[in-house]
């Protein structure tokens, strides 16, 4: 009997050992990745009636090309009869040094370490409702593509089909590749904004962000070389080896970065999955914790984030960092271990763009303060909430008070259009710094403070576009007094001349 018990015990131990081994192999010793939360009713509602993009992309890493097939289901909600649509082809700006936003004196050596490299769009097909369209470019840089549509009355719909190949430049920028980092931001042909009886045709300036778009729904299929990992505004799942698919609702644009070298960290915060991607696990985990803290802070201040996914990734991006709907790319230099404080501030600023730029769209060409200054202010609030008054005061001095005292070229204010700036440093001082100063002044002026106003502002304009007038009118109504002279002082008054 004794011997029999021994054998049974040994068999049980063996079984337990095998089970433990299998479990460890399957799950490792890290927690399981959270699944993507379902679409929120707010997002579902916001997506109704928006233009729809159905896109297939294929990256050829050896040829440095991205094949694009895109169909836009367009619904004329402009209120005007249209004779043409205008689509932006931003990668064409990279064709020559004199139009590339990355070829300025300030950026060239960081963006083009191997010398200038040309990027452009080869257009193969443009069809309107199934018929070849006689398209033409309206600018020398070929970023403004006009497609005639006969007459499209208000309320009418049609289908625009575009097939092209984007030749990617060797460039550490929003669109390009550097080492094994592929930045595929602003590569999709995207509808321009029709306002005041005309389509916007802003140039791709090297300073500021000329991207101005209405929310739309995107259905994306992405073909990547095996082992490459995408980070995208659209939540993607790998449906077969190297094929990624997903749908993104009510996005202002699609950001996309790809690399075979990404390590990933994820966390479920409320109804949003947050993902961070970097070259090493430690970097991904650090970025993840900053993104989680920032998103949770802003949700408590400015209202719930309605999207199921927010991602932050390392990229090769000479100017520093860039926001897209549901994602942000940050230059990999800031993922170094001795750069953690800077990385946290960058992620705090970029995450704030999810509210001020993505949820509430604004004219980032003519009123660049309206997203940048609000994000700087939000980042200050983030620091105050996480690290207290003294940390807030220190940062306030560097990011808002000092810029008021710096000498910069006369004639520039936070409401100067971005094409009037010629230095990134001046742009930061004026639009970010002096803009943040205005927000802090308004915080004293508005009863209850600016956080409560901004929460109401987000609620009022979510998924839409708020012009400066909308901001000003809402602010005056909320404050119950006229803030316009204060805005005029900070936004339009030239100092240091
Ligand atoms: Zn920004």
pLDDT score recorded for residue 41: 97
Q: What is the β-pairing status of strands 243-251 and 272-278? A: unpaired
What spacing in Å lies between the alpha carbon of 270 and ligand 1's midpoint? Answer: 25
Give the predicted TM-score (pTM) of the model.
0.93
Instruction: Give the sign of the dihedral formed by CA 466, CA 468, CA 471, CA 474.
Output: negative
What spacing in Å lies between the alpha carbon of 83 and ligand 1's midpoint? Answer: 35
What spacing in Å lies between the alpha carbon of 61 and ligand 1's midpoint? Answer: 30
pLDDT over threshold 50, residue 14:
no
What spacing in Å lies between the alpha carbon of 383 and ligand 1's midpoint? Answer: 16
| Rounded mean pLDDT, 67-95 | 98
User: What pLDDT digit, counting tens, does each position of 17-61 carry?
Assistant: 444 444 444 444 456 899 999 999 999 999 999 999 999 999 999
pLDDT score recorded for residue 494: 84
Q: What is the β-pairing status of strands 216-223 and 52-60? A: parallel
What spacing in Å lies between the alpha carbon of 330 and ligand 1's midpoint? Answer: 11
What spacing in Å lies between the alpha carbon of 188 and ligand 1's midpoint? Answer: 21
User: What pLDDT digit, counting tens, does each position of 322-377 carry?
Assistant: 999 999 999 999 999 999 999 999 999 999 999 999 999 999 999 999 999 999 99
Residue ranges of alpha helices (H) inside 279-366 are: 281-302, 340-352
Q: Which residues pair with 329 in a beta bridge?
A: 313, 322
What spacing in Å lies between the alpha carbon of 353 and ligand 1's midpoint? Answer: 7
Burial class of residue 232, CB neighbours in 10 A (0-12, 13-18, 19+): buried
| Of 325, 257, 453, 186, the residue nearest 461 (C-alpha) | 453
What spacing in Å lies between the alpha carbon of 275 and ligand 1's midpoint? Answer: 20
What spacing in Å lies between the alpha carbon of 433 and ligand 1's midpoint? Answer: 11
Domains of the chain and any CATH numbers: 52-213 (2.60.40), 369-492 (1.10.390.10)
User: What pLDDT digit, counting tens, does each position of 212-250 carry?
Assistant: 999 999 999 999 999 999 999 999 999 999 999 999 999
pLDDT score recorded for residue 18: 47
Give residues whose Cβ lies within 5 Å of ion ligand 1: 372, 375
Helix then strand then coil, in percent of the chain rounded to 5, is 35, 30, 35
The set of residues, in sequence order, having a beta carbon less than 8 Å from that of 410 and lying 6+ positions away, is: 494, 495, 496, 497
């Amino acid at each position: 009997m004794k011997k029999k018990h021994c054998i049974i015990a040994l068999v049980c131990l063996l079984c337990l050992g095998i089970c433990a081994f299998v479990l460890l192999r399957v799950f490792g010793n890290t927690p399981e990745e959270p699944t993507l939360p379902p679409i929120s009713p707010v997002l579902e509602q916001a997506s109704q009636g928006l233009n729809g993009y159905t896109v297939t992309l294929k990256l050829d890493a050896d040829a440095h090309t991205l094949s694009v097939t895109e169909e836009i289901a367009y619904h004329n909600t402009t209120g005007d009869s249209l004779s043409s649509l205008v689509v932006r082809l931003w990668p064409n700006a990279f064709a020559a040094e004199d139009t590339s936003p990355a070829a300025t004196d300030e950026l060239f050596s960081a963006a083009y370490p191997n010398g200038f490299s040309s990027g452009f769009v080869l257009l193969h097909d443009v069809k309107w409702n199934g018929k070849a369209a006689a398209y033409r470019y309206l600018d020398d840089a070929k970023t403004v593509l006009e497609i005639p549509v006969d007459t499209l009355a208000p309320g009418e719909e049609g289908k625009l089909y575009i097939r092209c190949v984007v030749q990617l430049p060797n460039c550490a920028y929003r669109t390009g590749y550097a080492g094994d980092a592929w930045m595929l931001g602003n590569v999709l042909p995207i509808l321009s904004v029709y306002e005041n009886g005309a389509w916007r045709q802003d140039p791709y300036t090297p300073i500021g962000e000329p991207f101005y778009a209405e929310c739309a729904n995107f259905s994306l299929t992405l073909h990547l070389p095996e082992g490459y990992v995408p980070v995208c505004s659209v939540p993607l799942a790998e449906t077969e080896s190297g094929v990624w698919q997903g749908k993104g609702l009510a996005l202002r644009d699609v950001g996309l970065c790809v690399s075979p070298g990404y390590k990933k960290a994820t966390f479920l915060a409320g109804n949003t999955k947050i993902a961070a991607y970097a070259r090493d696990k430690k970097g991904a985990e650090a970025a993840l914790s900053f993104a989680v803290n920032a998103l949770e802070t802003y949700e408590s201040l400015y209202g719930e984030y309605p999207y199921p996914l927010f991602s932050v990734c390392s990229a090769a991006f000479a100017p520093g960092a860039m926001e897209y709907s549901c994602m942000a790319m940050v230059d990999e230099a800031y993922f170094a271990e001795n750069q953690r404080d800077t990385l946290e501030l960058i992620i705090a600023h970029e995450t704030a763009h999810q509210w001020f730029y993505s949820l509430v769209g604004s004219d980032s060409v003519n009123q660049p303060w309206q997203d940048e200054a609000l994000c700087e202010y939000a980042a200050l609030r983030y620091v105050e909430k996480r690290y207290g008054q003294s940390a807030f005061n220190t940062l306030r001095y560097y990011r808002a008070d000092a810029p008021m005292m710096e000498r910069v070229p006369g004639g520039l204010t936070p409401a100067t259009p971005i094409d009037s700036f010629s230095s990134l440093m001046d742009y930061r001082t004026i639009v970010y710094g002096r803009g943040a100063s205005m927000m802090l002044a308004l915080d004293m002026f508005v009863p209850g403070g600016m956080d409560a106003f901004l929460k109401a502002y987000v609620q009022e304009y979510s998924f839409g576009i708020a012009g400066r007038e909308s901001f000003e009118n809402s602010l005056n109504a909320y404050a119950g007094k006229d803030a316009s002279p204060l805005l005029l002082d900070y936004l339009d008054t030239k100092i240091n001349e």
